[in-house]
Amino acid sequence: MPLTISERRSQRGAGRYLLHSLLFLAALTALGAVFLPPLTAAFLTNPYLNGTIAAAFLFGVTYTLKALIDTLRDVRAGNRAAEVALQARRREIPLKQADEVLLGNHWRGVSDFIQKIHRVISHGDAAATLPYLLDSLATQGDDRRALVRYLTGALVLLGLIGTFYGLLLTIAGVRDVISGLSTDKAADTMTLIAHFKDRLAAPLGGMGTSFSASLFGLLAALALGFLELQLLRAQNHHHAQLEALVVSDLVPLWQPVVTVTAQTETISPRHLAALLQATTDRLERVAATTEYLANRGEGITRVAEQVANLGERIESLRGTLQNIENDRTADLRHELRAIARLLAQPSGPVRDVDHAPPP
């Protein structure tokens, strides 16, 4: 079966994490070859503890690479399952044949997941159960990476154990050196120096054990942590692919949309249950929206009441201003009439009044 463009991109997306891991290990090996003499000398200071660190690191690398390869195979199986589901939806192959292929046991780790999806959709509780099945994918990925995380922490702890063990050896060696110093003046100076050098070998060996264990433990934990990161990204890519397979291909294939009409004679129970579940979800959303709008309506009613009260106050104020304006206009008209009557009187009496002597 030829691969589509999306399948090739999906496989390249999952395979690049394995490629990153291999390139990282190759670079780490080349770096170790460059510094091989000092690393060999540091390793031989405590070959037992450093050998334990190396064995744990190699086991973690092997396990992580195997998990990456398994994830890549699962991605390829998911791509083939998506292709079969797409052909069934396009009516290129019968639905019964597609079910036999999809529910077979030749999809590696994807087979159990597809069979669970089919059982859930067949029982009609897809809306309630599918989210939990999709969330379980992340849990499965965490379980697969749990050993790698433990080994990463164990490598750091082994380095710390080597550090403390080396410090204990150093302290014991220094104590022996101090206790072995001779205060006899008759002793030969060269003999004292040779004896002192022999006793210094123990504390120096303890320091070598301490630093070498820390060095190898931290380097191994750093490298294994990078490999775990690539495994995490590959698993997340695979989980996203399975979610797309379920939502875009399997659910439309096994749970078609049912339209109830007058010509419908019989309805499958699982279709009826799915229809009722979808109707219930929609009614819950409508009820939530109605409650939200009702709450907003109460707020709008209060605002409308306040606006109405404000309008009444403005109208009362406008009436008051109109009354004041009418009163002022009436007073002004009265004064104008008085001035007009005064101007209409004869001019003589006005002059007499003007030139009349003061009382």
Task: Report residue 125 as tokens.
Answer: 């509780």
Going residue by residue through the chain (359 aa), what tens digit of pLDDT does each one get?
Answer: 444 444 444 556 668 898 999 999 999 999 999 999 988 888 888 888 889 999 999 999 999 999 999 888 888 888 888 888 888 878 788 877 777 777 776 666 677 777 777 777 777 666 667 777 777 777 778 888 899 999 999 999 998 888 888 888 777 777 766 666 655 554 556 666 666 666 666 666 667 778 888 889 999 999 999 999 999 999 888 888 888 888 777 777 776 544 444 444 444 454 555 555 666 666 676 677 777 767 766 666 776 676 677 777 777 777 777 777 777 777 777 777 777 777 777 655 444 444 444 44
Q: Specify the long-range contacts of residues 136-143, CB closer than 8 Å, at least 24 apart.
A: 137/113, 137/239, 137/242, 137/243, 138/239, 141/232, 141/235, 141/236, 141/239
User: Measured between alpha carbons, how far is 311 from 350 in angstroms, rounded to an integer?
Assistant: 55
CA-CA distances (angstroms) from residue 58 to 70, 153, 228? 18, 15, 14
**pLDDT for residue 157:** 92
Instruction: Please check whether residue 258 is in contact with residue 275, taking contact to mean a CB–CB distance below 8 angstroms.
Output: yes
**pLDDT for residue 279:** 63
User: Measured between alpha carbons, how far is 223 from 220 in angstroms, rounded to an integer?
Assistant: 5
In angstroms and rounded to an integer, the radius of gyration of the C-alpha atoms of the chain is: 46
pTM (2 d.p.) = 0.61
**pLDDT for residue 163:** 86
Q: What is the 3-state secondary structure (H, E, C) of the chain?
A: CCCCHHHHHHHHHHHHHHHHHHHHHHHHHHHHHHCHHHHHHHHHCCHHHHHHHHHHHHHHHHHHHHHHHHHHHHHHHHHHHHHHHHHHHCCCCCHHHHHHHHCCCCCCCHHHHHHHHHHHHHHCCHHHHHHHHHHHHHHHHHHHHHHHHHHHHHHHHHHHHHHHHHHHHHHHHHHHHHHCCCCCCCCCHHHHHHHHHHHHHHHHHHHHHHHHHHHHHHHHHHHHHHHHHHHHHHHHHHHHHHHHHHHHHHHHHHCCCCCCCCCCCCCCHHHHHHHHHHHHHHHHHHHHHHHHHHHHHHHHHHHHHHHHHHHHHHHHHHHHHHHHHHHHHHHHHHHHHHHHHHHHCCHHHHHHHHHCCCC
Residue 321, Cβ neighbours under 10 Å: how many? 10
**pLDDT for residue 358:** 45
